[in-house]
Structure 1
Amino acid sequence: MNAFDWHRVLLGDVNTGFLGEVVARTLMAYVVVFLFLKIAGRRGVRQLSLFELVVILTLGSAAGDVTFYEDVPVLPVLVVFLAMIILYRLTTFLTERSGRFGEWLEGKPFLIIRDGVFELKALQSGNITHAEFLMELRLRGVEHLGQVRLGILEVNGDVSLYFHEREDVKPGLSILPPEHRESLTTADREDLYACEYCGHLETLVHQQALPCPRCDNPVWSKALCNPRAA
Protein backbone atom coordinates (compact mmCIF):
# COMPACT_ATOMS: atom_id res chain seq x y z
CA MET A 1 0.00 0.00 0.00
CA ASN A 2 1.40 3.32 -1.06
CA ALA A 3 1.26 6.26 1.36
CA PHE A 4 -0.70 9.28 0.15
CA ASP A 5 -2.38 7.32 -2.62
CA TRP A 6 -5.07 9.93 -3.24
CA HIS A 7 -7.25 7.67 -5.36
CA ARG A 8 -7.36 5.19 -2.44
CA VAL A 9 -7.90 7.99 0.11
CA LEU A 10 -10.70 9.69 -1.83
CA LEU A 11 -12.43 6.84 -3.65
CA GLY A 12 -11.23 3.58 -2.14
CA ASP A 13 -11.98 0.65 -4.43
CA VAL A 14 -14.60 2.42 -6.57
CA ASN A 15 -14.02 4.35 -9.74
CA THR A 16 -14.95 7.94 -10.47
CA GLY A 17 -18.02 6.85 -12.41
CA PHE A 18 -19.61 5.66 -9.17
CA LEU A 19 -19.88 9.30 -8.01
CA GLY A 20 -22.66 9.85 -10.53
CA GLU A 21 -24.46 6.80 -9.14
CA VAL A 22 -24.07 8.27 -5.62
CA VAL A 23 -25.91 11.38 -6.79
CA ALA A 24 -28.75 9.25 -8.21
CA ARG A 25 -28.92 7.11 -5.05
CA THR A 26 -28.99 10.22 -2.86
CA LEU A 27 -31.84 11.68 -4.90
CA MET A 28 -33.77 8.43 -4.55
CA ALA A 29 -33.22 8.32 -0.76
CA TYR A 30 -34.27 11.96 -0.47
CA VAL A 31 -37.49 11.29 -2.38
CA VAL A 32 -38.28 8.22 -0.25
CA VAL A 33 -37.92 10.06 3.08
CA PHE A 34 -39.68 13.15 1.72
CA LEU A 35 -42.66 11.08 0.55
CA PHE A 36 -42.96 9.45 3.95
CA LEU A 37 -42.96 12.83 5.69
CA LYS A 38 -45.65 14.03 3.28
CA ILE A 39 -47.74 10.97 4.08
CA ALA A 40 -47.19 11.39 7.81
CA GLY A 41 -48.24 15.05 7.61
CA ARG A 42 -46.40 18.37 7.90
CA ARG A 43 -45.33 18.43 11.51
CA GLY A 44 -42.24 19.64 13.32
CA VAL A 45 -39.80 17.34 15.09
CA ARG A 46 -41.20 18.32 18.50
CA GLN A 47 -44.64 17.22 17.29
CA LEU A 48 -43.60 13.75 16.14
CA SER A 49 -44.79 10.81 18.18
CA LEU A 50 -42.30 8.23 19.45
CA PHE A 51 -43.44 5.77 16.79
CA GLU A 52 -43.07 8.30 13.98
CA LEU A 53 -39.58 9.18 15.17
CA VAL A 54 -38.59 5.49 15.14
CA VAL A 55 -39.94 5.11 11.61
CA ILE A 56 -38.04 8.15 10.35
CA LEU A 57 -34.80 6.99 11.97
CA THR A 58 -35.23 3.54 10.39
CA LEU A 59 -35.86 5.07 6.98
CA GLY A 60 -32.93 7.42 7.46
CA SER A 61 -30.62 4.51 8.21
CA ALA A 62 -31.78 2.53 5.18
CA ALA A 63 -31.67 5.59 2.93
CA GLY A 64 -28.24 6.58 4.21
CA ASP A 65 -26.70 3.18 3.52
CA VAL A 66 -27.98 3.00 -0.03
CA THR A 67 -26.58 6.41 -0.99
CA PHE A 68 -22.87 5.57 -0.92
CA TYR A 69 -22.42 1.80 -0.41
CA GLU A 70 -22.14 0.27 -3.86
CA ASP A 71 -22.93 -3.22 -2.54
CA VAL A 72 -26.30 -2.07 -1.12
CA PRO A 73 -28.99 -2.56 -3.79
CA VAL A 74 -31.79 -0.05 -4.25
CA LEU A 75 -34.80 -2.38 -4.44
CA PRO A 76 -34.62 -3.63 -0.80
CA VAL A 77 -34.69 0.00 0.37
CA LEU A 78 -37.89 0.56 -1.59
CA VAL A 79 -39.32 -2.56 0.07
CA VAL A 80 -38.36 -1.09 3.47
CA PHE A 81 -40.17 2.11 2.53
CA LEU A 82 -43.34 0.24 1.47
CA ALA A 83 -43.26 -1.91 4.61
CA MET A 84 -42.91 1.20 6.77
CA ILE A 85 -45.84 2.87 5.03
CA ILE A 86 -48.04 -0.18 5.67
CA LEU A 87 -46.89 -0.38 9.29
CA TYR A 88 -47.49 3.34 9.78
CA ARG A 89 -51.00 3.15 8.32
CA LEU A 90 -51.83 0.10 10.43
CA THR A 91 -50.55 1.75 13.61
CA THR A 92 -52.49 4.93 12.86
CA PHE A 93 -55.66 2.89 12.30
CA LEU A 94 -55.23 0.99 15.58
CA THR A 95 -54.47 4.21 17.45
CA GLU A 96 -57.68 5.81 16.19
CA ARG A 97 -59.77 2.73 16.95
CA SER A 98 -58.34 1.95 20.38
CA GLY A 99 -57.64 4.68 22.93
CA ARG A 100 -55.84 2.18 25.14
CA PHE A 101 -53.47 1.17 22.31
CA GLY A 102 -52.81 4.83 21.47
CA GLU A 103 -52.08 5.61 25.10
CA TRP A 104 -49.69 2.66 25.33
CA LEU A 105 -47.92 3.66 22.12
CA GLU A 106 -47.63 7.41 22.60
CA GLY A 107 -48.27 7.91 26.31
CA LYS A 108 -50.67 10.51 27.63
CA PRO A 109 -50.39 14.14 28.76
CA PHE A 110 -50.13 14.70 32.46
CA LEU A 111 -50.47 17.62 34.81
CA ILE A 112 -47.18 18.95 36.15
CA ILE A 113 -48.28 22.29 37.70
CA ARG A 114 -51.51 22.89 39.55
CA ASP A 115 -52.28 26.35 40.93
CA GLY A 116 -48.65 27.45 41.11
CA VAL A 117 -47.21 24.27 42.67
CA PHE A 118 -45.48 21.29 41.04
CA GLU A 119 -47.27 17.94 41.09
CA LEU A 120 -44.83 15.64 42.90
CA LYS A 121 -45.82 12.50 40.96
CA ALA A 122 -45.07 14.27 37.69
CA LEU A 123 -41.65 15.41 38.90
CA GLN A 124 -40.82 11.92 40.12
CA SER A 125 -41.95 10.19 36.93
CA GLY A 126 -38.61 10.81 35.21
CA ASN A 127 -40.19 11.99 31.94
CA ILE A 128 -38.61 15.41 32.35
CA THR A 129 -36.02 16.71 34.79
CA HIS A 130 -36.71 19.57 37.17
CA ALA A 131 -34.12 21.79 35.45
CA GLU A 132 -35.51 21.03 31.99
CA PHE A 133 -39.02 21.97 33.01
CA LEU A 134 -37.85 25.25 34.58
CA MET A 135 -36.11 26.02 31.29
CA GLU A 136 -39.35 25.34 29.38
CA LEU A 137 -41.17 27.78 31.67
CA ARG A 138 -38.55 30.48 31.16
CA LEU A 139 -38.86 30.08 27.39
CA ARG A 140 -42.60 30.80 27.78
CA GLY A 141 -41.90 34.04 29.64
CA VAL A 142 -42.76 32.71 33.11
CA GLU A 143 -40.94 34.35 36.04
CA HIS A 144 -42.44 32.40 38.93
CA LEU A 145 -44.88 29.53 39.44
CA GLY A 146 -47.57 31.75 40.97
CA GLN A 147 -48.31 33.04 37.47
CA VAL A 148 -49.29 29.54 36.27
CA ARG A 149 -52.72 28.05 36.90
CA LEU A 150 -52.13 24.77 35.06
CA GLY A 151 -49.10 23.26 33.33
CA ILE A 152 -49.47 20.13 31.20
CA LEU A 153 -46.65 18.05 29.72
CA GLU A 154 -47.86 16.79 26.33
CA VAL A 155 -46.98 13.40 24.81
CA ASN A 156 -44.53 15.01 22.38
CA GLY A 157 -42.58 16.68 25.19
CA ASP A 158 -44.08 20.12 24.61
CA VAL A 159 -45.57 22.09 27.51
CA SER A 160 -49.02 23.68 27.57
CA LEU A 161 -49.48 26.50 30.09
CA TYR A 162 -52.64 28.17 31.36
CA PHE A 163 -52.06 31.39 33.27
CA HIS A 164 -53.83 33.20 36.08
CA GLU A 165 -55.41 36.49 35.22
CA ARG A 166 -53.20 39.43 36.16
CA GLU A 167 -55.22 40.22 39.30
CA ASP A 168 -55.23 36.55 40.39
CA VAL A 169 -51.47 35.98 40.30
CA LYS A 170 -50.20 34.41 43.53
CA PRO A 171 -46.77 34.30 45.15
CA GLY A 172 -44.65 31.50 43.75
CA LEU A 173 -41.26 29.92 43.25
CA SER A 174 -38.84 31.89 41.09
CA ILE A 175 -37.90 29.80 38.07
CA LEU A 176 -34.90 31.99 37.15
CA PRO A 177 -31.50 30.25 36.90
CA PRO A 178 -29.77 29.62 40.28
CA GLU A 179 -27.37 32.53 39.80
CA HIS A 180 -30.34 34.91 39.59
CA ARG A 181 -32.12 33.80 42.75
CA GLU A 182 -30.94 33.41 46.34
CA SER A 183 -31.10 29.86 47.69
CA LEU A 184 -31.36 29.49 51.47
CA THR A 185 -31.51 26.69 53.99
CA THR A 186 -31.98 29.16 56.85
CA ALA A 187 -34.29 32.16 56.56
CA ASP A 188 -32.43 35.48 56.74
CA ARG A 189 -35.61 37.29 57.83
CA GLU A 190 -39.29 36.60 58.32
CA ASP A 191 -40.82 36.32 54.88
CA LEU A 192 -42.73 34.08 52.50
CA TYR A 193 -40.48 31.43 50.96
CA ALA A 194 -40.98 28.84 48.21
CA CYS A 195 -39.53 25.34 48.21
CA GLU A 196 -37.03 25.16 45.36
CA TYR A 197 -38.16 21.65 44.40
CA CYS A 198 -41.97 21.58 44.53
CA GLY A 199 -42.87 25.27 44.92
CA HIS A 200 -44.69 24.85 48.26
CA LEU A 201 -45.05 28.20 50.07
CA GLU A 202 -44.18 28.65 53.73
CA THR A 203 -43.71 31.66 55.98
CA LEU A 204 -40.38 31.30 57.77
CA VAL A 205 -39.11 33.40 60.64
CA HIS A 206 -35.58 34.73 61.08
CA GLN A 207 -32.98 31.93 61.35
CA GLN A 208 -35.57 29.20 60.88
CA ALA A 209 -34.45 26.07 59.03
CA LEU A 210 -37.32 23.88 57.92
CA PRO A 211 -37.50 20.97 55.45
CA CYS A 212 -40.40 21.37 53.05
CA PRO A 213 -43.42 19.66 54.65
CA ARG A 214 -44.55 18.56 51.19
CA CYS A 215 -41.39 17.08 49.65
CA ASP A 216 -38.79 17.27 52.47
CA ASN A 217 -36.47 19.51 50.43
CA PRO A 218 -34.40 21.80 52.72
CA VAL A 219 -33.63 24.56 50.19
CA TRP A 220 -35.87 27.63 49.84
CA SER A 221 -35.91 30.91 47.96
CA LYS A 222 -37.97 34.04 48.51
CA ALA A 223 -41.34 33.80 46.79
CA LEU A 224 -42.07 36.26 44.00
CA CYS A 225 -45.45 37.76 43.22
CA ASN A 226 -44.85 39.82 40.08
CA PRO A 227 -47.58 39.65 37.43
CA ARG A 228 -46.65 38.53 33.93
CA ALA A 229 -45.46 41.23 31.56
CA ALA A 230 -48.11 42.14 29.02
Structure 2
Amino acid sequence: MSAFDWQRMLLGDFPFLFLGEVAFRAAFAFLVVFVFLKVSGRRGIRQLSLFELVVILTLGSAAGDVSFYEDVPLLPVAMVFVTLLVLYRATVLTMSHSERFSNWMEGKPVTIIKDGLYELNSLDYMNISSDEFFMELRQQGVEHLGQVRLGILETDGDVSLYFYSAEAVKPGLSVLPSEHRTDYQHVPVTAVYACTRCGHTQLMERQQQAACPRCEQVIWSRTLHHPRTR
Protein backbone atom coordinates (compact mmCIF):
# COMPACT_ATOMS: atom_id res chain seq x y z
CA MET A 1 0.00 0.00 0.00
CA SER A 2 1.40 3.38 -0.99
CA ALA A 3 0.64 6.77 0.54
CA PHE A 4 -1.65 9.15 -1.35
CA ASP A 5 -3.01 6.40 -3.58
CA TRP A 6 -5.86 8.38 -5.13
CA GLN A 7 -7.64 5.29 -6.48
CA ARG A 8 -7.70 3.79 -2.95
CA MET A 9 -8.62 7.11 -1.30
CA LEU A 10 -11.44 8.04 -3.68
CA LEU A 11 -12.99 4.78 -4.89
CA GLY A 12 -11.23 1.90 -3.14
CA ASP A 13 -11.80 -1.34 -5.07
CA PHE A 14 -14.90 -0.07 -6.87
CA PRO A 15 -14.85 0.75 -10.58
CA PHE A 16 -15.55 4.30 -11.72
CA LEU A 17 -19.00 3.33 -13.03
CA PHE A 18 -20.02 2.48 -9.44
CA LEU A 19 -20.52 6.23 -8.97
CA GLY A 20 -23.43 5.98 -11.40
CA GLU A 21 -24.96 3.19 -9.31
CA VAL A 22 -24.54 5.32 -6.17
CA ALA A 23 -26.37 8.18 -7.91
CA PHE A 24 -29.19 5.81 -8.86
CA ARG A 25 -29.39 4.41 -5.31
CA ALA A 26 -29.44 7.91 -3.80
CA ALA A 27 -32.24 8.93 -6.18
CA PHE A 28 -34.15 5.77 -5.22
CA ALA A 29 -33.72 6.51 -1.50
CA PHE A 30 -34.83 10.12 -2.01
CA LEU A 31 -37.91 8.94 -3.92
CA VAL A 32 -38.82 6.40 -1.21
CA VAL A 33 -38.70 9.02 1.59
CA PHE A 34 -40.55 11.62 -0.52
CA VAL A 35 -43.31 9.18 -1.50
CA PHE A 36 -43.67 8.08 2.12
CA LEU A 37 -44.22 11.67 3.27
CA LYS A 38 -46.71 12.30 0.47
CA VAL A 39 -48.68 9.10 1.02
CA SER A 40 -48.68 9.54 4.80
CA GLY A 41 -50.47 12.85 4.33
CA ARG A 42 -47.89 15.24 5.78
CA ARG A 43 -47.68 18.65 4.11
CA GLY A 44 -44.40 19.58 5.81
CA ILE A 45 -42.07 18.70 8.64
CA ARG A 46 -41.56 21.71 10.95
CA GLN A 47 -42.01 19.85 14.25
CA LEU A 48 -42.28 16.06 14.34
CA SER A 49 -44.02 14.12 17.06
CA LEU A 50 -42.03 11.39 18.81
CA PHE A 51 -43.82 8.70 16.79
CA GLU A 52 -43.22 10.43 13.47
CA LEU A 53 -39.57 11.03 14.35
CA VAL A 54 -39.05 7.30 14.98
CA VAL A 55 -40.66 6.47 11.62
CA ILE A 56 -38.54 8.99 9.71
CA LEU A 57 -35.31 7.89 11.42
CA THR A 58 -36.03 4.23 10.66
CA LEU A 59 -36.81 4.99 7.02
CA GLY A 60 -33.84 7.33 6.76
CA SER A 61 -31.48 4.64 8.06
CA ALA A 62 -32.69 2.14 5.47
CA ALA A 63 -32.55 4.75 2.71
CA GLY A 64 -29.05 5.81 3.72
CA ASP A 65 -27.71 2.25 3.64
CA VAL A 66 -29.05 1.55 0.18
CA SER A 67 -27.57 4.79 -1.15
CA PHE A 68 -23.92 3.77 -1.02
CA TYR A 69 -23.55 0.14 0.14
CA GLU A 70 -23.24 -2.07 -2.93
CA ASP A 71 -24.34 -5.21 -1.05
CA VAL A 72 -27.72 -3.74 0.00
CA PRO A 73 -30.39 -4.67 -2.57
CA LEU A 74 -33.25 -2.32 -3.43
CA LEU A 75 -36.31 -4.52 -2.89
CA PRO A 76 -35.77 -5.01 0.88
CA VAL A 77 -35.70 -1.22 1.26
CA ALA A 78 -38.95 -1.02 -0.65
CA MET A 79 -40.37 -3.59 1.81
CA VAL A 80 -39.18 -1.39 4.71
CA PHE A 81 -41.09 1.49 3.11
CA VAL A 82 -44.29 -0.56 2.72
CA THR A 83 -44.06 -1.95 6.28
CA LEU A 84 -43.54 1.49 7.83
CA LEU A 85 -46.38 2.94 5.80
CA VAL A 86 -48.76 0.20 6.97
CA LEU A 87 -47.65 0.69 10.59
CA TYR A 88 -48.02 4.46 10.26
CA ARG A 89 -51.53 4.22 8.79
CA ALA A 90 -52.62 1.63 11.38
CA THR A 91 -51.25 3.71 14.25
CA VAL A 92 -52.88 6.93 13.03
CA LEU A 93 -56.21 5.09 12.59
CA THR A 94 -55.98 3.65 16.11
CA MET A 95 -55.09 7.07 17.54
CA SER A 96 -58.13 8.63 15.85
CA HIS A 97 -60.41 6.09 17.57
CA SER A 98 -58.73 5.97 20.99
CA GLU A 99 -57.91 9.11 22.93
CA ARG A 100 -56.09 7.06 25.55
CA PHE A 101 -53.83 5.45 22.93
CA SER A 102 -53.26 8.83 21.26
CA ASN A 103 -52.21 10.39 24.56
CA TRP A 104 -49.86 7.47 25.22
CA MET A 105 -48.26 7.78 21.78
CA GLU A 106 -47.94 11.54 21.46
CA GLY A 107 -48.68 12.92 24.92
CA LYS A 108 -51.01 15.77 25.83
CA PRO A 109 -50.56 19.53 25.77
CA VAL A 110 -49.05 20.70 29.07
CA THR A 111 -49.69 24.06 30.74
CA ILE A 112 -46.33 25.60 31.61
CA ILE A 113 -47.28 29.23 32.35
CA LYS A 114 -50.47 30.36 34.06
CA ASP A 115 -51.28 33.89 35.22
CA GLY A 116 -47.69 34.99 34.71
CA LEU A 117 -46.19 32.14 36.78
CA TYR A 118 -44.44 28.94 35.84
CA GLU A 119 -46.40 25.77 36.59
CA LEU A 120 -43.85 23.97 38.75
CA ASN A 121 -45.58 20.57 38.61
CA SER A 122 -45.46 20.65 34.81
CA LEU A 123 -41.80 21.67 34.69
CA ASP A 124 -40.82 18.99 37.20
CA TYR A 125 -42.91 16.32 35.46
CA MET A 126 -41.44 17.13 32.05
CA ASN A 127 -37.95 17.42 33.58
CA ILE A 128 -37.56 20.80 31.91
CA SER A 129 -35.81 23.88 33.26
CA SER A 130 -37.63 27.19 32.96
CA ASP A 131 -34.53 28.51 31.19
CA GLU A 132 -35.30 26.25 28.24
CA PHE A 133 -38.38 28.34 27.45
CA PHE A 134 -36.73 31.74 27.69
CA MET A 135 -35.53 31.74 24.07
CA GLU A 136 -38.94 30.61 22.80
CA LEU A 137 -40.64 33.36 24.80
CA ARG A 138 -38.24 36.03 23.53
CA GLN A 139 -38.77 34.91 19.95
CA GLN A 140 -42.50 35.51 20.41
CA GLY A 141 -41.94 39.02 21.72
CA VAL A 142 -42.16 38.27 25.44
CA GLU A 143 -39.91 40.27 27.76
CA HIS A 144 -41.33 39.18 31.12
CA LEU A 145 -43.82 36.63 32.44
CA GLY A 146 -46.28 39.31 33.54
CA GLN A 147 -47.23 39.71 29.88
CA VAL A 148 -48.31 36.05 29.56
CA ARG A 149 -51.74 34.89 30.70
CA LEU A 150 -51.33 31.29 29.56
CA GLY A 151 -48.54 29.22 28.00
CA ILE A 152 -49.06 25.68 26.69
CA LEU A 153 -46.42 23.22 25.53
CA GLU A 154 -47.94 21.44 22.54
CA THR A 155 -47.33 17.79 21.64
CA ASP A 156 -45.09 18.81 18.71
CA GLY A 157 -42.79 20.84 20.97
CA ASP A 158 -44.15 24.29 20.06
CA VAL A 159 -45.24 26.71 22.78
CA SER A 160 -48.61 28.44 22.37
CA LEU A 161 -48.88 31.75 24.24
CA TYR A 162 -51.93 33.82 25.20
CA PHE A 163 -51.24 37.35 26.36
CA TYR A 164 -52.73 39.88 28.74
CA SER A 165 -54.04 43.08 27.24
CA ALA A 166 -51.77 46.10 27.65
CA GLU A 167 -53.94 47.35 30.53
CA ALA A 168 -53.88 44.00 32.37
CA VAL A 169 -50.11 43.37 32.24
CA LYS A 170 -48.61 42.94 35.71
CA PRO A 171 -45.05 42.85 37.09
CA GLY A 172 -43.27 39.68 36.05
CA LEU A 173 -39.99 37.81 35.88
CA SER A 174 -37.69 38.96 33.08
CA VAL A 175 -36.89 36.32 30.45
CA LEU A 176 -33.92 38.27 29.08
CA PRO A 177 -30.43 36.68 29.03
CA SER A 178 -28.30 36.91 32.15
CA GLU A 179 -26.31 39.89 30.85
CA HIS A 180 -29.56 41.88 30.74
CA ARG A 181 -30.92 40.69 34.10
CA THR A 182 -29.38 40.91 37.57
CA ASP A 183 -30.23 38.35 40.25
CA TYR A 184 -29.92 38.86 43.99
CA GLN A 185 -30.07 37.06 47.30
CA HIS A 186 -30.08 40.37 49.20
CA VAL A 187 -32.10 42.84 47.14
CA PRO A 188 -30.40 46.26 46.73
CA VAL A 189 -33.46 48.54 46.90
CA THR A 190 -37.07 48.35 48.03
CA ALA A 191 -39.11 47.20 45.02
CA VAL A 192 -41.16 44.33 43.59
CA TYR A 193 -39.00 41.29 42.82
CA ALA A 194 -39.70 37.96 41.10
CA CYS A 195 -38.51 34.49 42.06
CA THR A 196 -36.15 33.32 39.33
CA ARG A 197 -37.47 29.75 39.48
CA CYS A 198 -41.25 30.10 39.44
CA GLY A 199 -41.92 33.78 38.74
CA HIS A 200 -43.70 34.54 42.03
CA THR A 201 -43.61 38.30 42.71
CA GLN A 202 -43.59 40.19 45.99
CA LEU A 203 -42.55 43.51 47.49
CA MET A 204 -39.17 43.28 49.24
CA GLU A 205 -37.38 45.77 51.44
CA ARG A 206 -33.82 46.93 50.85
CA GLN A 207 -31.24 44.27 51.82
CA GLN A 208 -34.02 41.77 52.55
CA GLN A 209 -33.31 38.07 52.03
CA ALA A 210 -36.27 35.71 51.67
CA ALA A 211 -37.28 32.28 50.42
CA CYS A 212 -40.02 32.17 47.80
CA PRO A 213 -43.27 31.03 49.49
CA ARG A 214 -44.20 29.14 46.34
CA CYS A 215 -41.04 27.14 45.58
CA GLU A 216 -38.55 28.03 48.37
CA GLN A 217 -36.01 29.45 45.91
CA VAL A 218 -33.87 32.27 47.39
CA ILE A 219 -32.74 34.04 44.20
CA TRP A 220 -34.72 37.12 43.11
CA SER A 221 -34.75 39.45 40.14
CA ARG A 222 -36.22 42.93 39.74
CA THR A 223 -39.55 42.66 37.93
CA LEU A 224 -40.45 44.27 34.64
CA HIS A 225 -43.94 45.65 34.11
CA HIS A 226 -44.30 47.19 30.65
CA PRO A 227 -46.66 45.72 28.00
CA ARG A 228 -45.62 43.95 24.80
CA THR A 229 -44.70 46.18 21.87
CA ARG A 230 -45.60 43.65 19.17
Distance 1:83 1:6 in 2: 41
Once the two structures are TM-superposed, the CA of residue 54 in structure 1 deviates from its matched residue by: 0.7
Distance 1:130 1:159 in 2: 13
Distance 2:135 2:166 in 1: 22
Distance 1:220 1:81 in 2: 54
Distance 2:126 2:107 in 1: 13
Distance 2:128 2:101 in 1: 23
Q: How many residues align?
A: 229
String of CA shifts for 1:153-176, please: whole Å, max 9, x gaps: 001110000000111111110111
Distance 1:70 1:187 in 2: 68
Task: Give the aligned partner of residue 46 of structure 2.
Answer: 45
Once the two structures are TM-superposed, the CA of residue 33 in structure 1 deviates from its matched residue by: 0.3
Q: Are positions 1:123 and 2:123 aligned together?
A: yes
SS at match of 1:149: strand
Once the two structures are TM-superposed, the CA of residue 6 in structure 1 deviates from its matched residue by: 1.3
Distance 2:129 2:216 in 1: 18
Distance 1:95 1:180 in 2: 45
Task: Give the aligned partner of residue 61 of structure 1.
Answer: 61
Distance 1:53 1:137 in 2: 25
Instruction: Return the letter of the residue paired with 1:101.
Output: F
Task: Give the aligned partner of residue 192 of structure 1.
Answer: 192
Instruction: Return the letter of the residue paired with 1:135.
Output: M
CA contact (8 A) 2:108 2:154 kept: yes
Q: What TM-score, normalized by structure 1, do the two folds share?
A: 0.97
Residues 63-82 of structure 1 aligned to structure 2 (within 5 Å): 63-82=63-82
Once the two structures are TM-superposed, the CA of residue 206 in structure 1 deviates from its matched residue by: 1.2
CA contact (8 A) 2:118 2:130 kept: no
Task: Give the aligned partner of residue 175 of structure 1.
Answer: 175
Q: Are positions 1:26 and 2:26 aligned together?
A: yes
Distance 1:17 1:66 in 2: 17
Cα RMSD (Å): 1.0
Instruction: Return the letter of the residue paired with 2:103.
Output: E
Once the two structures are TM-superposed, the CA of residue 23 in structure 1 deviates from its matched residue by: 0.8
CA contact (8 A) 2:149 2:163 kept: yes
Distance 2:64 2:117 in 1: 46
Residues 205-224 of structure 1 aligned to structure 2 (within 5 Å): 205-224=205-224
String of CA shifts for 1:181-229, please: whole Å, max 9, x gaps: 1111111121110001100011111111001111111110111110110
Range that drifts further, 12-21 or 147-156: 12-21
Once the two structures are TM-superposed, the CA of residue 127 in structure 1 deviates from its matched residue by: 4.7
Instruction: Return the letter of the residue paired with 2:6.
Output: W
SS at match of 1:84: helix
Q: What TM-score, normalized by structure 2, do the two folds share?
A: 0.97
Unaligned runs of 5+ in 1: none
SS at match of 1:208: coil
Identity over the aligned pairs, expressed in percent? Answer: 57
